[in-house]
A and B are shown apart, each in its own frame.
Chain A
Amino acid sequence: MKFGVVVFPGSNCDIDCYHALRDVLDQDTEYIWHMTKHLGFYDCIVLPGGFSYGSYLRGGAIARFSPVMDRVVEFAQSGKPVIGISNGFQVLTEAGLLPGAFLRNNSMKFVCENVYIRTENASTPFTKLCGEGQVLKIPIAHGDGNYYVDDRTLKDMEQNNQVVFRYCDAEGEATAESNPNGSLQNIAGICNREGNVVGMMPHPERCMEEILGNRDGTVIFKSVINYLKGGAVND
């Protein structure tokens, strides 16, 4: 089983994702440089957070034109699991792999803090080990995390169970106060229609070790490892 972490110029959570997968979860993991035109063999691709291309123009707007993104699109279309975290999520929306777009946080300020999210869809490769409705404490760190999508697409997404996480309070209530950035319907994470491509603003790779005071993020990556193991048996 092999994970690939894409490195765009300006990615800065690439080493954190790499560390989480390789050192914490003991998985075979490689960096994938954004200029890569021929993808090696991977079972799962991670688009990490950061400021790809300085997030100039719009977060992810330039990164989607990196050569590697054509391969990521093919990879996703083949049904293999892809996760985009924070800026990686923005790249996925810009690349058309996920619906919607991002606005500036409604506070107009960058915000870094722990938030609670409620699992709305526990059937994606990245949430299979979460219980439906399970509340996770996972940090966010972004200036443009205010998720937006038009009504019709939103209805579609709701129908297809594409909302994966919503911001909520410690008890799991998706209140206005628990929404840290103004995201529509408290949306914190979504997936594509097929469920194999997931984007989330919170950073699970930041809370996977005791010394960091929180291990809630582990379940996301353990889920996909578990999923891939199951997949291997079926193959």
Chain B
Amino acid sequence: MTKKTYERVGLTSGEYDRIVEILGREPNELELNLYGVMWSEHCSYKNSKPVLRIFPTSGERVLQGPGENAGIIDIGDGLAVVMKIESHNHPSAVEPYQGAATGAGGIIRDIFTMGARPIALLNSLRFGELSNDRTKYLFENAVAGIGDYGNCIGIPTVGGEIYFNDCYRGNPLVNAMCVGIIRHGDIKRGTASGAGNAVMIVGASTGRDGIGGASFASVELSEESQENRSAVQVGDPFMEKLLLEACLELFETGCVVGVQDLGAAGLTSACSETASRGSSGMNIDVSLVPRRETGMIPVEVMISESQERMLVIVEKGREEEVTGVFKKWGLNSSVIGRVTDDGMLTIRDGDEVVGRVPAKSLAEDAPVYYREYEKPAYLQQVGVLDEESLEVPKDLNGVLVGLLKSPNIACKEWVYRQYDYMVRTCTAVAPGSDAAVVRIRGTNKAIALTTDCNSRYCYLDPATGGAIAVAEAARNLICSGAQPLAVTDCLNFGNPEKPGVFWQFRQAVSGMSEACRVLGTPVISGNVSFYNETDTNAIFPTPVVGMVGLVEDTSHITTQGFKEEGDAVLLLGENTQEAGGSEYLKVVHGLEQGSAPRLDLDKEKRVQDCCLELIRAGVVKSAHDCSEGGIAVALAECCISGGIGAEIEFESRCRKDFLLFGEGQSRIVITACQSDLERIKDTAARLDVPCTVLGRVKGKELVIDIAGQREMEIAVEDMGTSWREAIGCIMG
């Protein structure tokens, strides 16, 4: 075997030697391809595994942690939430519509593979600056792809986040999250056990699309990537809708032993992973796999990533029940082999054995790399911020409007009105507030959902940035009236073989882990996406946090908009003088510098606990966390959402611009009836949370005084127009 052969499938000579050692012989071409895809970073996590171990992954409510198709968290009443987020970055960079669509399709399958009914989709998107035409094209088509897939299948896209920064110009990020609901007793797992049980492939037929997608995801993007379109899968949401309904109907028959979707590495990963989890082997015949193209050779069938397919392990003798259900839905179902007890994945093409390797060696025995890491040099330069040299802008109204128009802060309606966020009629809080809220039918409960990450903070300080991503996600859920329960993460980074990138990765994970511990939100599923680089420029470290919280009673559901004239506006937490990493610095001064905002996790926890206790006590009429754009933008958003103004007075002696637009953490703006003020102050004092009355809801303008001086005065309608129309104007 020439050196070129293993390099072509993305393996190193060391890895090749290891395969020879495992097999006791040289692998044939097909076998080598199996290892190539399964030992890719995308499938094996060979670079990230040792670091991921530091995440807290257990807790009273955790029914399924990492290692399965999705994580599961208990929400009481015998019900549980299934959740997972996944990246589809490289496909979306090359073919944004299909890349994003199949990202949604893949994550939906991960959820119903667990036996759950998918009930909501979210996403997290990153693109270059919208001044660039190719970025507009990527943005427009990725949004359309996500929308069309979710809309057609009938799962509402209820939330997400979008940021624009030049670092994503060549390598956009498309992360899709899905959440499902399940009864505890109905949980399915991706396990193949019981020698003689049938191995069936169901759903779409197999073609040549997506060949080698897992390997494609595990290298840097380059000029040639644009030619790699055959590595991008093509989605068919109608097919997936049928597959979803058929699978859920099939699970009710009780004949299913295990089930796994065919995602990255297709049949190869589904067979080897299910067999490996069940300590079994599997004997399959690729000639029995229904195909949509002629002339496919066995290796193509094994690594095709054609969408909308599932592998189902069925009790011996009950195969016809499967056929019956799938026939009703007009879908293929074919027995392609049997579970064995020899631990080997044996692949036949008719009678001829074309490959035979230990199933576990594909699924679990990829080498683990302890990558070198070193604090990158850029941090020294960007960490410094000469505040003195920055002038305080005279026109603070203008600064606020400028920030409201910044695509990172502006209203995302242009995006979410392309998503059917209402189908299933459970969306109690639609996109646009701190978190989406979805009621759980048949109970008085709801779940709140969010995705968050400020990657600029992560760029300046990955550990703090990672912790803030978790803290902000939790804060968003708290503001909606939910107790944060669990995290699913999507860790988007550059090339891990570069010590600087790997240092960012380790730091971010450690910061996130600490925040997860303090805030009581274990990581129950996730995904790592490395090699997000083009032309040697890595993206900002972007560890996206997807979080789910439980609203114990739908009467606790809270939104950000101010509600009623005369209500008191209060701040839980304290204003600071931190400007580092702020959107203000970027938009007004053109700087992405300074320290990331400080985060005191114990204080954060106290602020969150206080807010939730007050919400549950029924005294909070609106709640909104302070994030990008600082307290001025937070107040503006409360006014715009509520369609009502406010009079605000700050006593602070901080620099005015930093006070208004700095992004200090652990702050929540709430409103309440004047008559509840004492009660709120008492609760805050008891929980050791700073609580200040900032002013009251009033009129049609946002008016802000600082230390007795009128500093801002701006009509809510004008702010609303700037904020709402900004992205639409740019996109035309």
Contacts and interface: CB of A to CB of B under 8 A. Distances in A.
A205 B242 CA distance: 23
Given A110-B418, A111-B418, A141-B422, A54 B238 contact: yes
B151 interface: yes
B424 A15 contact: yes
Interface string B206-236: 0000000000000000000000000000001
| Main DSSP-derived SS at the A contact region | mixed
B427 interface: yes
A212 interface: yes
Contact of B238 (A10, A16, A111, A112): A10
B354 interface: no
A167 interface: no
Contact of B441 (A19, A111, A141): A19
A20 B417 CA distance: 23
Interface residues of B, number: 31
A139 interface: yes
B237 A51 contact: yes
B613 interface: no
B717 to A, nearest CB: 15
A221 B330 CA distance: 33
Contacts of B238: 9-10, 51, 53-56
A210 to B, nearest CB: 10
Interface string A193-217: 0000000000101101101110000
A12 interface: yes
Contacts of B419: 110, 112
A99 interface: no
B154 interface: yes
B241 A51 contact: yes
A49 B154 CA distance: 10
Contacts of A203: 422
Contacts of B152: 10, 12, 51, 54-55
A110 B151 contact: yes
Nearest to B424: A16
Nearest to B147: A110
A50 interface: yes
Interface string A166-198: 000000000000000000000000000000000
A74 interface: no
B422 A112 contact: yes
A4 B235 CA distance: 32
B178 to A, nearest CB: 15
**Chain A interface extent, by class:** 20 to 34
Given A12-B241, A16-B423, A109-B144, A212 B441 contact: no
Interface in B384-436: 416-425, 427-428
A113 interface: yes
A205 B425 contact: yes
Nearest to A23: B441
B554 A211 contact: yes
A212 B428 contact: yes
Contacts of A15: 424
Interface in B47-103: none
A49 B329 CA distance: 18
A54 B241 CA distance: 9
Interface in B628-683: none
Contacts of B475: none
A10 B242 contact: yes
A208 B425 CA distance: 9
Contacts of B237: 51, 54
A139 B153 CA distance: 18
A68 interface: no
A10 B241 contact: yes
A141 B151 contact: yes
A206 B329 CA distance: 26
Given A55-B152, A110-B418, A110-B420, A9 B242 contact: yes
B331 to A, nearest CB: 10
B148 interface: yes
A92 interface: no
A53 B428 CA distance: 29
Interface string A73-92: 00000000000000000000
Interface string B101-128: 0000000000000000000000000000
A54 B236 CA distance: 8
A73 to B, nearest CB: 23
Contacts of A9: 238, 241-242, 329-330
A117 interface: no
Contacts of B153: 12
A9 B148 CA distance: 17
A220 interface: no
Interface string A35-79: 000000000000001110111100000000000000000000000
Given A51-B237, A54-B238, A109 B423 contact: no
A53 B238 CA distance: 7
30 contacts: A9-B330, A10-B152, A12-B423, A15-B424, A16-B423, A19-B425, A51-B151, A51-B152, A51-B154, A51-B237, A54-B152, A54-B238, A54-B239, A54-B241, A110-B147, A110-B151, A111-B418, A112-B151, A112-B416, A112-B417, A113-B417, A139-B422, A141-B420, A141-B423, A143-B148, A206-B423, A211-B439, A211-B557, A212-B425, A212-B427
Pairs A-B, 6 closest by C-beta atoms: A12-B154, A54-B238, A141-B420, A51-B152, A16-B425, A112-B420
Interface of B: 144, 147-148, 151-154, 236-239, 241-242, 329-330, 416-425, 427-428, 439, 441, 554, 557
Given A50-B154, A51-B154, A54-B241, 9 more contacts: A9-B238, A9-B242, A12-B423, A13-B423, A54-B152, A110-B420, A111-B417, A205-B425, A211-B428
